[in-house]
Every structure is written in C-alpha cells, then in structure tokens.
C-alpha cells in the first residue's frame, strides 16, 4: 500500500496547475449534470404519482 501511495503522489505531482483547473471545471460540470439528472428523475416520479392519484 505504501508504494501505491508513493506512485499516486508522484502522479499528482505530474499534473500542472492549469490541468487541475481544467479537472476542477470538468468535475463541477459533471457534478452539476448529475444533480440535474437526479432532480429530473424525481420530478418525473412525482408527476407519475400525481397522475396515478388523479391530481
């Protein structure tokens, strides 16, 4: 496990600050998209439940 941690840290050192910025932007976009999809999923479920109740 120690060597794996060492290699992981070596890999982190290879990533430049501008690459980290890109990773951050992409990460936040993916997170936002997943949040949107989750919200959409629950909205659709809620609408189906209301339709089943006849609201």
- pLDDT tens digits for the chain (55 residues)? 679 889 988 988 898 989 999 999 999 999 999 999 999 999 999 999 999 988 7
Residue 33 has a pLDDT of: 98
Sequence ranges of the domains in the chain: 16-53
Residue 54 has a pLDDT of: 85
Residue 30 has a pLDDT of: 98
- Write a three-state SS string for 34-47: HHHHHHHHHHHHHH
The three-class DSSP label of residue 1 is coil
For residue 27, what are the CA distances in angstroms to 9, 16, 33, 50, 55?
20, 16, 10, 35, 39
């Amino acid at each position: 496990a120690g060597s794996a941690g060492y290699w992981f840290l070596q890999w982190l050192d290879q990533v430049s600050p501008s690459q980290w910025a890109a990773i951050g932007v992409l990460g936040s976009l993916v997170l936002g998209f997943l949040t949107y999809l989750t919200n959409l999923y629950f909205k659709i479920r809620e609408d189906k439940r209301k339709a089943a109740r006849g609201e």
